[in-house]
Amino acid sequence: MTVYDPNNIFAKILRDEIPSHRVYEDDAVVVFMDVMPQGQGHTLVVPKAPSRNLLDADAATLGPLFQTVQKVARAVKRAFAADGVTIMQFNEPASGQTVYHLHVHVIPRFEGVPLKPHTGQMEKPEVLAENASKIRAALAG
C-alpha cells in the first residue's frame, strides 16, 4: 500500500496553508466547500487524522467522520431545499480518487438535475462563501 503524503492538498487545507471556505470544524473533522463542485452546495467532510482513504484509516476515525457526514447531509438538504443528498467516497485511482486523504463528498440533489462533471472548473469564491454561509446557518438550527 502506498504511504500517506502529508503534503496532499487536503492536508495543506487542514494546516491552513491553503485557504478554504470552511463550514464546520471540531476536534476530529473539518468540513469545507468543494472548489470544483458537481452541484450547488457540494461539501467535503475531511478527518483531521491522516489516512489515504477508507482502506487504511484507523477505525476510530470513522465514527466521528460519518457522524459529521450525517449532520452535514441533513444541513445541506435544508440549506438548499434539496430533494435528496448524494454521499460519495472514493478509494484508490481505479475508483476515481484523486486526492489521497480520506474525504467524503456531500452533494445536495434536485430532481431532474444531473451532477456536473468534476472537470477542474473552479467555482467563484463569492459563490462558495455564500453556500458555506447557508450551510453554517442550517447547522446552527
Spatial separation of the C-alpha atoms in residues 80 and 85, rounded to whole Å = 10
Q: Which residues are catalytic?
A: 103
Q: SS3 for 135?
A: helix
Give the distance between the most distant pair of CA atoms in the chain. Answer: 42
Strand pairing class (43-47; 22-25)? unpaired
116 burial (CB, 10 Å; 0-12 / 13-18 / 19+) is middle
Q: SS3 for 105?
A: strand
